[in-house]
Amino acid sequence: MVTRWSLDHFTSLSDQLLGNGATPQELQALLGESAPESGRPFAEVLGRFQKQIIPFAYKTNHPRFLAFVPGGPAFPSVLGDWLCSAANFFCGVWLEASGPTQVELTVLDWFKEWVGYPSEARGILTSGGSEANLTALVTARERVPFADRRRMVLYVSDQRHWSIDRAAKVIGLHPDRIQAISSGPDLKFHVPALLQQIEIDRREGHLPWAVIANAGATNTGTVDPMNDLADLCAREKLWLHVDAAYGWAAILTPEGKRELAGIERADSITLDPHKWLSQTFEAGCLLVRNGPLLEEAFSMRPDYLQDVTPRDGEINFADHGIALTRRFLALKIWMSVQVLGKAWFRDLADRCLRLAAYAQARLEKADCFEIMHPRNLSIVCFRFRSTAVDETQWDRLNEALVQELRDSRRAFLSTTRIRNQVALRMCFINWRTTTGDIDEIVALLREIGQKIAERET
Ligand SMILES: Cc1ncc(COP(=O)(O)O)c(C=O)c1O
């Protein structure tokens, strides 16, 4: 039954509507209940899943879900996830799962090679980019003597992902010790401004500690100047962490390689296979250039785990991160790459770059849109414009437009702000999305936008 449902869902997804929301009251009425004392037939429970849960979610794997950073797993990843759950291997220590641990090491070796990291680099698969960013900050913080930690300053761009702020909060960094450097008009890290701030902070007795760069900012897809930041961090002895959670897979393509050049000089890199590498949620990853630092930061040896002390060459992934009990996350990635081949992922990354360029060209041609930030990697930001409506009302117009687009259940986009104005975003990472989907979305946006503009006049 589950296999049938999964296959039907997977094969018919492109023809389905996007989904629906509901109010907390409606869902509490439908699903809020005490735990049943006795069990029910599985078919009945599956029926409730289909009728009462599935309709109240948006399908982030749908080819016309281009909001935030979408999903879009390949089928071998779904199967790998299934097998991971069925086997339930404990992937925290070598003693309990040497085979799965070796597969994780192999997958990490692939990623190290793709980003240009040396073999002594190490890493860990995580639940996602947020956990990877947190793991990076802990690793970088552990190098600072306790006495100096109150003086540490973290430098970020105003285009960072908010998981960085939360990671900083979790490690106890005072909010005043996060210096957000305003980006330039290209929305990239402004390196001269960063240097100036570092000098000010040193003069004031603070301890410049780490810099977070974007390799594919969530907002606009921009990539910060990696080599300039790496030069500065080497000179100033700062830890450079690159948050490439969204953008990293582009490195498989010639354009991405050019854009991300210098990423291999970072001290640590976050990359999310559950974004642009077609994996089911959850699959994130952190790589650390100076590998042994990971173990120095996280390894602990309580008495009740004395049996799992690794012997020569063995790795306990519980020593590389926050979790002890860990799923065999590498399986779905390993299976996907084995079944589809690396070329499939390179083609996907390349296709998504071209889809974004195509979307920008279509929007420009339609004559009722303004590109708010030219395409970077596979993200395009734009807005609907209408001379019939006063420009001061365009924010409201675009917010209404995105809402009505979602209500159509044919497509789902998200909004952001660029230069303090509301912009719509399209982010392409999904292997299902085609130019036909873009044509449909642009036509819908135009039609709905014009209807709203008429209504307003
Ligand atoms: C650049 C960037 N960093 C970090 C994250 C957080 O990743 P996750 O949602 O996997 O925790 C995201 C998510 O969109 C992101 O785009």
Instruction: Calculate the CA dihedral of residues 360, 362, 368, 374 and round it to 10 degrees.
Output: 10
How many CB atoms lie under 10 A from the CB of residue 219?
22
Is 6 inside a domain boundary?
no
| Per-residue model confidence as pLDDT tens digits over 157-203 | 999 999 999 999 999 999 999 999 999 899 999 999 999 999 999 99
pLDDT of 315:
97
Residue among 65, 69, 275, 276 to mutate when testing ligand 1 (max atoms within 8 A of CB): 69
Cα end-to-end span (Å), the chain: 53
CA dist., res. 322 & res. 142, Å (int): 14
Residue among 66, 157, 246, 263 to mutate when testing ligand 1 (max atoms within 8 A of CB): 246
Residues 395 and 326 in one domain: no
Q: Residue range 395-424: average pLDDT?
A: 97
Is 383 inside a domain boundary?
yes
Residues 279 and 303 in one domain: yes
Angle between helices 330-340 and 75-87 (to 10 degrees): 140
Residues 308 and 186 in one domain: yes
Q: How remote is the CA of residue 128 from the centroid of ligand 1, in Å?
A: 7
Q: How remote is the CA of residue 270 from the centroid of ligand 1, in Å?
A: 9
Of 323, 340, 357, which one is at a domain's C-terminal end? 340
Structural domain harbouring 104:
79-340
| Per-residue model confidence as pLDDT tens digits over 354-376 | 999 999 999 999 999 999 999 99
What b/e string do you get for 16-39 counting C-beta neighbours within 10 Å, with b at 16 or more? eebbeeeeeeeeeeeeeeeeeeee
Residues 330 and 234 in one domain: yes
Is 73 inside a domain boundary?
no
Given a cut of 80, whether residue 410 has pLDDT beyond it is yes
Q: Residue range 393-412: average pLDDT?
A: 97
Chain centroid offset of residue 210 CA? 21
Is 204 inside a domain boundary?
yes
Residue among 68, 126, 161 to mutate when testing ligand 1 (max atoms within 8 A of CB): 161
Residue among 126, 137, 212, 218 to mutate when testing ligand 1 (max atoms within 8 A of CB): 218
CA dist., res. 158 & res. 178, Å (int): 11
Helix (H, G, I), strand (E, B) or coil at 454: helix
Contact 384, 372 (CB under 8 A): no
CA dist., res. 453 & res. 260, Å (int): 41
Is 55 inside a domain boundary?
no
Distances (CA, A) of 229 to 212, 223, 240, 285, 364: 9, 12, 8, 22, 34
Residue 118 tokens read as: 């040396």
Residues 243 and 300 in one domain: yes
Ligand 1 atom at shortest distance from the alpha carbon of 128: 10
Residues 181 and 206 in one domain: yes
Backbone phi, psi, residue 344, to 5°: -60, -40
Residue 286 tokens read as: 């952190």
Is 27 inside a domain boundary?
no
CA dist., res. 189 & res. 290, Å (int): 24
DSSP codes joined into one string, 197-242: HHHHHHHTT-EEEEEEEEBS-TTT--B--HHHHHHHHHHHT-EEEE
How many CB atoms lie under 10 A from the CB of residue 399?
13
CATH number of the domain that 302 lies in? 3.40.640.10
Q: How remote is the CA of residue 160 from the centroid of ligand 1, in Å?
A: 10
Q: How remote is the CA of residue 129 from the centroid of ligand 1, in Å?
A: 5
Q: Residue range 108-124: average pLDDT?
A: 98
Residues 157 and 113 in one domain: yes
How many CB atoms lie under 10 A from the CB of residue 443?
13
Residues 319 and 366 in one domain: no
Q: Residue range 279-300: average pLDDT?
A: 97
CA dist., res. 267 & res. 142, Å (int): 14
* Positive or negative torsion for Cα 261, 264, 270, 273: positive
Q: How remote is the CA of residue 348 from the centroid of ligand 1, in Å?
A: 20
Of 276, 309, 340, which one is at a domain's C-terminal end? 340
CATH number of the domain that 395 lies in? 3.90.1150.170
Nearby residues of 374 by Cβ (< 8 Å), 6 or more positions away:
360, 380
Q: How remote is the CA of residue 324 from the centroid of ligand 1, in Å?
A: 22
Nearest CA to ligand 1 atom 2: 245
| Per-residue model confidence as pLDDT tens digits over 25-81 | 999 999 999 999 999 999 999 999 999 999 999 999 999 999 999 999 999 999 999
Q: How remote is the CA of residue 264 from the centroid of ligand 1, in Å?
A: 20
Given a cut of 80, whether residue 417 has pLDDT beyond it is yes
Furthest-apart CA atoms within the chain: distance in Å: 75
Nearest CA to ligand 1 atom 8: 129
Ligand 1 atom at shortest distance from the alpha carbon of 282: 10
Is 21 inside a domain boundary?
no
Residues 314 and 362 in one domain: no
How many CB atoms lie under 10 A from the CB of residue 212?
30
Residues 316 and 273 in one domain: yes
What mean pLDDT, rounded, does the chain reach? 97
pLDDT of 456:
81
Domains contained in the chain, number: 2
pLDDT category at 457 given cuts 50, 70, 90 is confident
Residues 126 and 256 in one domain: yes
Given a cut of 90, whether residue 425 has pLDDT beyond it is yes
Is 297 inside a domain boundary?
yes
pLDDT of 383:
98
Q: What is the pTM of this model?
A: 0.98
Long-range contacts of 40-46 (CB under 8 A, 24+ apart): 42/1, 43/1, 46/1, 46/2, 46/5
Q: Residue range 403-414: average pLDDT?
A: 97
Q: How remote is the CA of residue 35 from the centroid of ligand 1, in Å?
A: 34
Q: How remote is the CA of residue 417 from the centroid of ligand 1, in Å?
A: 18
Pocket of ligand 1 (CB under 6 A): 69, 128-130, 133, 161, 163, 218, 243, 245-246, 272, 284
Of 340, 355, 378, which one is at a domain's C-terminal end? 340
Ligand 1 atom at shortest distance from the alpha carbon of 133: 4
- The percent of residues in the chain predicted with pLDDT above 70, rounded, is 100
Q: How remote is the CA of residue 147 from the centroid of ligand 1, in Å?
A: 32
pLDDT of 169:
98
pLDDT category at 260 given cuts 50, 70, 90 is very high
Q: How many residues does the chain have?
A: 457
Given a cut of 90, whether residue 113 has pLDDT beyond it is yes
Residues 272 and 377 in one domain: no
DSSP codes joined into one string, 4-32: HHHHHHHHHGGGS--B----HHHHHHHH-
Could you give the strand order of the β-sheet that contains 152-157, starting from the edge strand earlier in sequence? 122-126, 284-288, 268-271, 239-243, 207-214, 152-157, 178-181
Nearest CA to ligand 1 atom 7: 129
Q: E strands, 336-413, where?
A: 369-376, 379-384
pLDDT category at 351 given cuts 50, 70, 90 is very high
